[in-house]
Structures are given as C-alpha cells and as structure tokens.
Amino acid sequence: MSLLTLEDITVSASTKGGGIDVLRDLSLTIDQGELVGIVGESGAGKSMVGRMIAGMLPRGFAVSQGQALFQGENLVAMSASGRSEYLGAQIAFVPQHPMTSLNPVLSLGAQFDEHLRRLGITDRRIRREMAIAALDSVHLPRPADLLARYPHQLSGGQCQRALIAMAFSSKPDLIVADEPTTALDVITQARVMELIAELQHQQNTGLLFITHDLRLAAKHCQRIIVMYAGEIVESGPAEALLEDPIHPYTRSLVAANPTLSGPLRRLAALPDHMPGLSSFADLPGCRFAPRCPVRDRDCAAARPMLAETTSGRFVRSTGACRAAQREMVAEALLPQVEIPLDAPAMLDVTSLGKTFGARRGLIGRRRDPVVAVDNVSFRISPGEFVGLVGESGSGKSTVARLLLGLETPDTGTVSVDGHDITGPFERTAEARIALIQMVFQDPQSALNPRRRIGRLVTQSMEAHAPRPDWPARLERARELLRQTGLAPDTVGRYPSQVSGGQRQRVNIARAICTAPKVLIADEIVSGLDVSVQAQILDLLLEMRQHLGISMLFISHDLSVVRYLCSRVAIMNQGKIVEQGPTETLFRNPQHEYTRSLIAAVP
Amino acid sequence: MSGEIFGIILRRLLVAIPLMLLVSVLVFVVLRLIPADPLSMAVPPNATKADIEAMRREMGLHLPVIQQYAIWLGQLVQGNLGKSIAFGQPVATLIGQSLPATIELAFFGALFATLIGLGGGILMFRLRGSGGEQVADVGSTLMMSIPEFLWALFLILIFGVSLNLLPFAGRLPPDVTVTNITGFLLLDCLLSGNVSAFFSALKHMLLPSLALALGTAPLIMRVLRSSLLDVIGEDYVTMARLRGIPERRVVNRHALRNALLPALSLMGVQFGFLFGGTLLVEVIYSYPGLGNMMVEAVRNTDLPIIQGAALVFALAVLTINLIVDVLYIVVNPKLRRAR
Amino acid sequence: MMDDGRSAWQRVLRSGRVLFGGGILLLLFICAAAAPLIAPFDPNEQDLLNALKGPFWTDTAADGHWLGTDNLGRDTLSRLIYGSRVALFVAFCAAVGTMLFGTTLALLAGYFGGAVDWIISRAVDLWMSFPPVVLSLILIVGFGVGLGNVILAIILVDWTRFCRVVRSEVLVIRRQNYVDAARLAGFSHLRTMVREVLPGALPLIITLMSLEMGIAVIVEAILSFVGMSVEASIPAWGVMIADARKYMYQSSWGLVLPIIAIVLTVLAFNLLGDGLRRTLDARLQQH
C-alpha cells in the first residue's frame, strides 16, 4: 500500500459566476521513503496540493471530487479534528518563510517543547533531550544554547533547520515541504536541501517537495510531477524528464532555464504567461494551448487526458504534441558579443566605499558600524553587460544606490562617459539623469499605483523645463512601450491591471526614457517565473543590440548572469573577491567563495 | 535582562530631566501670555494702588519673565512651588493633599479599562464572521464617541439618580471621617481598621473610576481586536496549526501574546491621558482630587497652582510611559538586544 | 477597466457607515446654517415663568417649547440648534488647522528622516507628555476665552496625534521604490513629497480629519463645561450641560438632551471616518 494516494482530486473555488476548478483531476502516489517533486510556476496550483493535504484550503475553496488516501484513510472525508491528529505527527510540514513561521515572542525551546508535548512525551527532561538531539541532527551548533534564543536572533538558515528538526522529530511518515529553500541564499539553499535529503533517507520518510525550480527538484527527487494551470501535465523519473521532456510545456521549462555549463543557447521564451483562475472557464480544452508552439485546432477544443507513455512516464498530450515531439529542434546558439577592448570605459568605479556608522550614543540606540561596501572597483565598456553577483547582505544593492547617488560614498569615485558623478544626487542631478538610470527589483513597489503607465514611463520628461506637452509625451510613451515589447494601449492602464512580467517591462521602459548610457538592473528577474524571466532576458539582449546600452546586472543567480553578461564580479561582505570574463571565471573559479557559489547551483 | 532594564530606566530618567525642564518652560511661558490680571483674585476690595503695587512686588510679577522663571525654577528645586493666590496656602501642601485621591481614581480607572478593554477586544474577536460582529463594531464606535465626562454624567443619571444604587459625591459620606495617615483613603481605612468606611470609600470610587475607564476602554477593545485579526493570519499561527496544535491553544498562546503588544503600547499612551480625564470627572463627582483643584485654579486664574499641577500631571504621564515601556520590553523579546 | 478615482468614490458612497454618518452631519450642517430660520425662539431669550419645563413627552411640558426649557426659561431646542453652530464651526476649523500643521510636519519628518525627524519627534514627545485636557486648559488660560482661541488651543494640542499617525504612513510610503524613482527622474524634494508621497497618505488623512472633528467637538464641550470656551452670550452644548447639572433632580432632560446631541455628532464623525477608512483602504489593498 502506498503512503499517499491522491485520486482524481478536484478543488473548486466557489465564485459568483459558478465554480472554478482550481485543481483538476489530480492523481499521484508517493511511497514510503520516496522523494517526489512537484514543479510548477506560480499560479500552477502546487501550493494548493499541500494545503489540501493539510485540510487548510482558503475560504471558498473545497475539495469537490476525489479522495486523498493516507495509509488507507481518506483525508478528505475526515473531520477537521480527526485530520489534525495526523498533523505534526504522521504528516509534517516544512514552510516557505522560516523566519516568520516561528512565534517571535516564544523562545525556540518553548516552541519545541510544546511540539513534543503534543506528541505525547510527558517527561520534561526527555523533551529537552529530544529537542537537543533534534537540533543536533540538523547540524546546528551548541543546541542547548540555541533553545534559549528567540527567532529574531537566528538567521534564516538556522530557523529553517530548526523547523526541519521539528518536522522530523516526530518521525513522520510523510513530509510536505512547500518551497522550503526559496527564501534562503543560494549557498544556504544547497546545504538545507542536502540536509533534507539526508534526513529523509535516514528516516525513510516520504517527502513531497514543492518548488518552482526544476533543476533543484531534479537534483534531489526521484520522481518529478510538472503542473500547469491546476493540472498535472507530465510526470516521471527525474533524470529522464529533465533529459528528454515530452510535454511542450516541460520542454519549454527546460529550455527557458539558463544553464551554468554547456553551450550558450538562446532561451526559448514562451509568449504571455500562465492563465489565471478567472481565465480557466475560457479554456475548455488544453489549458496550455494558447501558448503552445506546436498546437493545432483540436487542442483548444478537447481536453487531453493523462496517459502513460513508457513505464512510469505520464503525459497529458494531444495528437499534435505527440507528432511534434520528434521535430522539436534545439534553439540557436547565442551570438558572441564583440566588446572593443580599447574603448574608454562607459562606467568607471574606483575604490568605492561606504560604512554605515554608529549613531548618537546616549539617546538613540547604539549600533556597531557596518562596512557595507569596501574598496570596490570595476569598469564597464560601452555596450557591455557586466554582472555583479552576491548573496543578500553582500553589499551589491548598496553599490547600486551609491552609483545612482541615492547614498553618498565615503570613499572612491564614480564616472560615467567621462563625467564624474560621485556624490549625492542633488549636486550631480542634471548630468546624471541622461547618463545612468536604475531598474528596480520589485515592480510592485517601483511603480506608483495611482499613476497610469503612460505617465509613469515618461516621468522624467515632467521634471525638465521646458515641459513637453502631452501629445509629445504620449508619443514618447508609445515608443518606449514598443521598445520593451508592450502593446501601445498599455499607455492608459494602471500598474495593477497588467501582469508581473509586463510591470517589469514598464519598469525598464521608464528607465530608458532619458536614453541613459548605463542601466543598473538590481535583481530585476528574481521574482519572475522562468518563462517570463526568459522573455525579459531576451528583451535586454535586444536592447543591447538596438540601443547600445551598457548594463550593470546585479543578481544572485549565476546562470542568468552567465547568459547575459560578458564579464562578472563576485561580491562577498562588501568586497569584490573575484572578477573577470564570465566563461573563464565560471569554468575555473579561483576564489573559495566563488567555488562554493558555483557548487551550490543545482 | 535585568541589567538591560536598569539601563533603559536610567536612560529614560536622564531624558526625563530636560523634558520636564522644557515642560516647565512651556507652562510658564504660556501662562505669562495671560490677558487677565493674576492678582485680581487675591486683591481685597479696598486695596489702594500702593497696596496692589506692593503685592505685585512681593509676588515678583514686576520682574522680566526670564528672571521670574529662574526664581521659580530655583524654588522648585528646593521643593517650594509657591503659594496659592486664592487659598493662600503653599502649593506643594495643597497638591500633596489632593494628589492621592487622584492617584486612587486613576489606578482603578486604569484597572477597569484594562479588564473591560482586553476582555471586550477578545470578545469582539471571537464574534468575527458572525452577525454579532457588525453589532459589536457599531456598539464599540458608539462607546468611543462618549468622552469620560459624559460617561460620568450618564452613570450618575442611571446608577445615582434613577436607580439610586451608588453614591456620586465625594470620597466618603459626609458623616464619616477617617484619620489621614497616607492620604490614600483605602489604605488609611485599612490601617485604622475601619472596615465599613473601607467599603463606603470603595462604593464612592466605583462610579468615577468606571467613568474614567469607559472613556478609554473602547479604543483598547478595537485595537486588540484588530491586532488579533492581523496576527491570526501570520505564518507562525498557520505553522502552529500545521503542527496539530488545537485551535484554542493557538489563539491563547500564540496569537494573543503577540496581539497584546500593540494594545499594550496604546494603553501606555491612553493611561497617561487618563489623568487628564480626572479633571472633569472629579468636578462632576465633587471628588477632592488634583483635577478638581486644577479646574478651580483655572477658574480663579490661580497661577501657582496651575503651574504646580501641570508639572505634576506631566510627571505622571512620563512615569506611566516609563512603566509601560519597561513592561513592553519584558513582554517583547524582539526589543532585547540580539546576542 | 474604470478610472481608479471614480470607482473609489462609488465604493465610498455605498458604505453604510459613510451614508449614516454623513447623513447625520448633513442634517446638523443644515441646522447650523439655517439656525435663525429653524429655531422657534431666540436662544438667549429668558422666560422665568416657564423655567425647567420638560420636553413634549413629559407631563411638565410647556407650549411651544418642544424640548423644554432650562433654569432661566430659555428654550432647549433653540439652544441646541444654535449650539450646533459652535460645535460644527470649531470642528471644521480645528480639524483643518490640525491637518495642515500635523501633516506638514509629518511629511517633513517621514520624508527627510535623520535630524529633521529627530527634532519633530522630540517635539511630539514633549507635547504628548501632557494630558490633552490639561494642556488645552492651560492654553485657554494663557490665551483667554473666545471661539478663535478655542480653535487655536485645539490645533496646538492635537496636531501631535495627526503628526504621529501620518508620519508612520509616510515612512512606509517613503520606502517604496517609486519615491526613489521619482527622485532619479529629476524631481525636486518638494515635488516628490507632494506628488508621490502625499497622495498615498491621503486616505489616512481624510479618515483622521473626520475623527479629528469628533475630538474637536469633545474638547470644545469640555472647555465650555468648565466655562472657558465661548463668551456667555453664545449657546454651546457644554455650557448647557454645566447649567443643567445643577438642576439634575428637577429636570434631568435638560442634561440628557445636550449629551445626546454631543454623542450623536461625535458618533457621526466616527462612523464617517470608520467608513472612509474601510472603503479607501480596501482600494489600496487591491493594488
């Protein structure tokens, strides 16, 4: 008997127009000791699976069909109190946001103690011993001291290890981990994943690993299930699925992920984005059809079924995709970028430094001085993309703010196209605006929600006297939108009315309004889905080709940096530890930190 | 941790000194703006111009403002707050006599406000999702629209006049006296073994402190309810549920402790303001406290009392803020320094 | 999709609280504006033969005096109507003044941070070490009685509440990237503050103004109860309460009616503010 079997589970949301099937005909099995990954972009419904198992669907959502058999018992038919018997005991959970998943006013020890008491361990001393042993098993140093600490005194990685310790401490049969490493740094992510895999293997637990990262899932999971728009589109053994994907969506997922090694191919960017809940009613047939490169007329009409192709591999396919499977070709190789080596630098940064110091002693709270940026130097040639890689806290965002004048550097100089623009924004504003601009990471916070997009992208025209009249602005707005691949009627929309990927394009359009020579892109693709990320990356390449713009591309994602940038600088704790041509650096890293970064990429 | 708390108290006290200084300047300056003549109350009807001038010189009112302030400050540090123009007695004595009554009222007012506010907030939270929620909401808005002095009058009308259940004038019935030991009536009753007076004093205190409490409690209710609503959606509450912890424990142990923090912070501010409420409440209940005296002083333009009382009130607010801040740090580990 | 501004208005007008509170206030405004036309008697006209009469539903009612009379025979209804003038005038002026003063300082403090924030926050702390009632009494003693002084006193006491709340909101907005983006586009500090930051705080400011008006009515009532508000010849609700209190046993209605007037007015302001906050906040959440 398998550990968990979901049979034709359908979760519906009751809305004014009728029910929408958020999850449709979901069937999967996990056996004891198996590590299964559910992979999907945001909105695919993968988190809904975890919530359904826990019995914590949001208000208005309910399981309308199917059963979920856990060790033979149907979870769906169980009462809430019956199901909560299982929770934390036989079925454990590892959350996505470790730092906020622990009660901030209770010590770690108190929360562990509560958990163990619920499991029925009555002796206080035994509970403490078990807690210490559990923290030890997740390689946390000095566990006895740690129990007295509060969550805000621990790092994200430490919190997650503690939560993993709690999950495994009840020796559960099944663990559901919903994006457990997404909120962590790359290196921490790799270590925590290894820890989970290690413990899972030791205790022979069945583990359902939910993630958006296909490569990460493939590295650790035995089987992978790919979801799209609430349905399973493909499932099978991890390696086989990654090497030879069958369903067009899986193929594009694999092809849209930039790699750290192997030939540099152009990313296959699918148009648009995954349909939202409200569009499901308009898609009676295959829900992937509108974006599918190999669709035919029948695809949109009839709903394809999940069928087994070879042993263990299931695909939801129509005749069209089966036929096209053999014909899909690999994408073209990326053209090499020629950078004139003797041209004067477009962006020249020398010995940049910034320390956030201690403040007033008596009245305010004392803080130790933090060296955010320490002697950072690099150059960008005209038309070159240079990557700045670092984890959170490395100082890379501070560098961006220093370059833009949002912070004043303590030491060093910044010059663009020969003009010295070191110093606070006010002093150098006139010169700056046409020279260097920034694309912010979070388009939600970067676009004023009360302004229409047309006004937003041409904002910099407003600040200058003489102010151009509205028709001139409209003209420029349309042009900018065209350059960033948006429809001209987007001009009249509000930021909340367009998708995440489109918002990011608007962000970029605004930044190029003054035709700056240098763009700083601070983690601009981090929050985006793989296919949308590919679209933006391609857009940036086009912009380089047509506008000749130089860019400092700040990111923590090495594969993306490899795709875009000809040179890269690695930052750690405020210093640049290594910099050079991308290929050479990644193939043969010199510094230990770079090596650990590369090793951490799945 | 206790070392940290000591450090905080010390820092606060150090900040309090310049603050009180500024407060005293503020009070002094504002009162010197006065259009009316502060002497008008104290001057006997048959005084000649020379007499008036002599009084003026005696009170130092002919000196420049800064000098007057310096003199006043100097005397203040020695404990001398001047003499009341209307009563002729030293201000410090008068304040010392009336302050304990106000403190008693404020204490019980704060106590009731805490009980009603926290209890009501939890109740409103429990009603969420039901039809009672809207009723409770409008009800609490209505309660919030009634200031203390109107509550005071309401309570008199209902419990005093109509139902004739509780007394509403003074601290004790006119025929009862208790020897004055500490000034705190309840303590004095217990210390002199007068049990019937003790209960009578309690009854006299009930309506005024209730009025004070009802002026503050609705706001506390609403803040607690809204912070409970915020907290119940947090990740750690979901995580506790996912660990199979029963809902009641989730609410009481996890949600409530966190939700209390904003309410505590509010209570600190509000209890400081409670002292302001004693002014009218004491007048309405003919309660011989500092608030009553201040209102009298304002009516008589009795500057020394106004100055002295204002300083005492400011001191009271600062003290309460300090107490609540310390409590807050004890309850909220996030404010302790990360090791 | 509709224009954002229009849909917000529609939502606001559909809120029960806004309609109820706004309705009462509209009624009050009409009362106040048309007082000479509506009031049956001159509010200061004494009629000692008809003193302390009850409202029309009691057995001590007198002809023509629908809500009874006070101890000097003055008509209660007329005094209530004229009292609404004082209440609404003070409410409006004080709220506007508090809003201007408090918001300006809050914007400066939240936007610039650093030393500016420190000074303004310390000033707020200093002001808030007084209970508001005490401070307003002291200010009135210093300024003297009169409607203008009352308004000034309320502004000087309550700007701190406005400032503190708006400052928190400004701090949140300031952290949004679009404020930095506006600066990078070349806007001056002033422009950025007014065009990018202020509109975000506007819903909160509108809500606070409504609540502030309720508070102003209460403070005025307190001051007139103590006799330190308007001149004796102008009827105010607080004065009515102070007078009626002495004759509580003979005619409690004279006490109850102005109390109800005050509570109803403040309730209307609170409901309006609450309704505005819910509807305007919800719009922001959609983004």
What are B246-275's pLDDT values in tens digits? 988 898 889 999 999 989 988 988 998 888
Dist. CA A104–CA A420, nearest whole Å: 47
The mean-pLDDT minimum among A359-373, A514-528, B2-16 falls in: A359-373
Question: How confident is the model over A514-523, as a mean pLDDT?
Answer: 91
List, in order, residues 6 or more apart from C184 with CB less than 8 Å away.
Answer: A404, A406, A425, A432, A433, A437, A438, A460
Q: How far apart are CA B9 and CA A406, in angstroms?
A: 37
- pLDDT on residue C93: 95
Q: Which of the residue ranges A376-390, A425-439, A512-526, B279-293 would you say has the lowest mean pLDDT?
A: A425-439
Instruction: Count CB-CB contacts under 10 A for residue A28.
Output: 20
Reported confidence tier of residue C287, pLDDT bands at 50, 70, 90: very low
Q: Tell me if B30 and C138 make a contact (CB, 8 A cut-off).
A: yes
Using CB atoms within 10 A of its CB, is residue A306 exposed (0-12), middle (13-18) or buried (19+)? middle
pLDDT band at A330 (very low <50, low <70, confident <90, very high): low
pLDDT of residue A388 exceeding 90: yes
- Which pLDDT value is given to residue A529? 84
According to DSSP, residue A372 is labeled E
Nearest residue, CB atoms, B243 vs list A106, A118, A149: A118
Confidence grade of residue A256 (pLDDT, cut at 50, 70, 90): confident
pLDDT digits (tens, 9 = 90+) for A559-583: 999 999 999 999 999 999 999 999 8
How far is Cα B318 from Cα C129, in angstroms, rounded to an integer? 6
Q: How far is B217 from chain A (nearest CA, A)?
A: 25
Per DSSP, A417 falls in state T
Q: How many CB pairs under 8 A join B and C?
A: 120
Measure the CA–CA gap between A288 and A285, rounded to whole angstroms.
9
By the CB < 8 Å criterion, does A362 face chain B?
yes
User: pLDDT value at position C105?
Assistant: 95
Which 3 state secondary structure label does DSSP give A189?
A: helix
Range with lowest mean pLDDT among A410-424, B160-174, C21-35, C97-111: B160-174
Tokens encoding B216? 């503050």
Chains that touch A (3 or more CB pairs under 8 A): B, C
Asked if B31 lies within 8 A of C138 by C-beta distance, the reply is yes
Residues of C in contact with A513 (CB under 8 A): 185
Please judge whether B32 and C263 are an interchain contact, meaning their C-beta atoms are less than 8 angstroms apart: no
What residues in A contact C187, CB-CB < 8 Å? 459, 462-463
- Asked whether A200 and A35 are in contact (CB, 8 A), the reply is yes
Distance spanning both ends of chain B, measured CA to CA: 12
Please give the residue of chain C at the shortest CA–CA distance from B300. Answer: C141
Residue-level pLDDT at B37:
62
Whether residue B43 is predicted with pLDDT greater than 80 in this model: the reply is: no
**Does pLDDT of C98 surpass 90?**
yes
Question: For testing the chain A interface, which of C122, C177, C183 should be mutated: the one with the most A CBs within 10 Å?
Answer: C177
Q: How many CB atoms lie within 10 A of CB A360?
A: 9
pLDDT band of residue C3 (cuts 50, 70, 90) is very low
Q: What is the mean pLDDT of residues B180-205?
A: 82
Query: C213 - beta bridge partners?
Result: none
Round to whole Å and give the CA distance between A409 and C264.
Answer: 58
Copy the structure tokens of residue C42.
């001159």
The pLDDT assigned to B30 comes to 77
Peptide bond into C258 cis (omega under 30): no
User: For residue A240, what are its two tokens?
Assistant: 């086989």
Q: Do C284 and A462 touch (CB under 8 A)?
A: no
Going across the sheet that includes A314-316, the strands are A91-94, A174-178, A206-211, A35-39, A223-228, A231-237, A314-316, A306-308
Weakest-pLDDT range from B13-17, C25-29, C157-161: B13-17
The CA distance from C239 to C221, in Å, is 8
Q: Taking a C-beta distance cutoff of 8 angstroms, is the pair A141, A157 a contact?
A: no
CB atoms within 10 A of CB B288: 15
% chain A with pLDDT above 70: 94
Q: Do A460 and C186 touch (CB under 8 A)?
A: yes
Q: Is A51 at the interface with chain B, CB within 8 A?
A: no
Confidence grade of residue C25 (pLDDT, cut at 50, 70, 90): very high
Q: Which range, A305-309, A389-393, B137-141, C101-105, has the best average confidence (pLDDT)?
A: C101-105
- Please identify among residues 77-96 of chain B the ones whose CB lies closer than 8 Å to any CB of chain A: none
- Confirm or reject contact between A110 and chain B (CB < 8 A): no
CA-based angle B190:B193:B197, to the nearest 5? 75
Angle at A246 between CA A240 and CA A247, to 5 degrees: 130
C221: nearest Cα among C83, C82, C39: C83
Distances in Å between the Cα of B50 and the Cα atoms of B46, B54, B78, B269, C104 are: 11, 6, 31, 49, 51
- Examine the pLDDT at A163 and tell me if it is beyond 50: yes
Under 8 Å between Cβ of C27 and C19: no
Angstrom distance (rounded) from CA A159 to CA A108: 9
Using a CB-CB cut-off of 8 Å, the residues of chain B touching A177 are none
Q: Rounded distance, CA A554 to CA A577, Å?
A: 15
Asked if B277 and C130 come within 8 Å (Cβ–Cβ), the reply is no
Residue A463's pLDDT is what?
76
Q: Is A431 on the interface with C (CB under 8 A)?
A: no
Model confidence band, residue B195 (pLDDT cutoffs 50, 70, 90): confident
pLDDT band at C284 (very low <50, low <70, confident <90, very high): low
CB of B243 within 8 Å of a chain A CB? The answer is yes
Q: Side by side, which strands form the sheet with A575-581?
A: A436-439, A518-522, A550-555, A385-389, A567-572, A575-581
B143 close to C267: Cβ distance less than 8 angstroms: no
Closest to B13 measured CA to CA, from B257, B260, B304, B318 = B318
CA triple B227-B228-B234, angle to 5 deg: 95
Q: Which range, of A330-339, B245-254, B317-326, C31-40, averages the lowest pLDDT?
A: A330-339
The per-residue pLDDT for A361 is 45
- Residue type, position C181, single letter: A
Whether pLDDT at C286 is above 50:
no
- The answer to whether residue A118 neighbours chain B at the CB level (below 8 Å) is yes
- Smallest CA–CA distance from A95 into chain B, residue: B239
Confidence of residue B160 (pLDDT cuts 50, 70, 90): confident
Within 8 A by CB and 6+ apart from B105, the residues are B205, B208, B209, B212, B278, B281, B282, B287, B289
- Compute the distance between CA of residue A234 and CA of residue A148 in angstroms, rounded to an integer: 46
pLDDT at residue number C59: 78
Residue from C173, C184, C192 to probe the interface with A (highest A Cβ count within 10 Å): C184
Predicted confidence at residue A309, as pLDDT, reads 81
Task: Provide the pLDDT for residue A348.
Answer: 87
Per DSSP, the residues of A325-358 read: HTTPPPPPBPPPPP--TTSPPSEEEEEEEEEE--
A331-340, B222-231, C70-79: which has the minimum mean pLDDT? A331-340
Burial of A159 (0-12, 13-18, 19+ CB in 10 A): buried
Q: pTM, whole model, 2 decimals?
A: 0.87
Mean pLDDT of the residues in chain B = 84
User: What type of residue sits at position C212?
Assistant: E
Top residue of B17, B234, B239 to mutate, by most chain A CBs within 10 Å, is B239
Closest CA to C107 of C168, C161, C159: C168
- Number of inter-chain CB pairs under 8 A, A vs B: 77
For C146, half-sphere exposure in the C-beta direction (CA atoms, 13 angstrom radius) is 7
A153 vs B: CB within 8 A: yes
Beta sheet of A419-420, edge-to-edge order? A370-380, A347-356, A411-416, A419-420
End-to-end CA distance of chain C: 14
Interface of B with A in 3-42 (CB under 8 A): 11, 14-15
> Which of B30, B223, B303 best probes binding to C when mutated, by most C CB atoms within 10 angstroms?
B30
Least confident of A375-389, B154-168, C266-280: B154-168
* Closest Cβ opposite residue B242 in set A93, A100, A102: A93
For the segment C264-283, the average pLDDT, to the nearest whole number, is: 86
Question: How buried is B61 (Cβ within 10 angstroms: 0-12 exposed, 13-18 middle, 19+ buried)?
Answer: middle
Q: Which residues in C have their CB inside 8 Å of a CB on A?
A: 1, 4, 175-178, 180-188, 191, 196, 199-200, 284, 286-287
Q: pLDDT for A208-222, tens place per residue?
A: 999 999 989 999 999
Q: Which chains touch C (3 or more CB pairs under 8 A)?
A: A, B
Q: Residues C220, C84: contact at Cβ < 8 Å?
A: no
> pLDDT, tens digit, for every residue of C44-64?
888 888 788 888 887 777 777
Q: What is the mean pLDDT of residues A155-181?
A: 93
Residues of A whose CB is below 8 A from B240: 103
Could you give the C-alpha distances from A215 to A218, A247, A254, A316, C283, in angstroms and in order? 5, 17, 8, 21, 39
Give yes or no for residue A13 having a pLDDT over 70.
Answer: yes
Region B25-37 average pLDDT:
73
User: Lowest mean pLDDT: which of A287-296, A503-512, C22-31?
Assistant: A287-296
Q: What is the pLDDT of residue B1?
A: 59
pLDDT at A251 over 60: yes
Q: Do A438 and C184 lie within an 8 Å CB cutoff? A: yes
State whether C131 and B27 contact (CB < 8 Å): no
Higher pLDDT, B67 or A38: A38
pLDDT at C80: 92
Predicted local distance difference test score (pLDDT) of residue A540: 92
pLDDT classification of A366: cutoffs 50, 70, 90? low
- Label residue B223 exposed, middle or buried (CB < 10 Å: 0-12, 13-18, 19+): buried
- Token pair 């149907």 is at which residue? A74
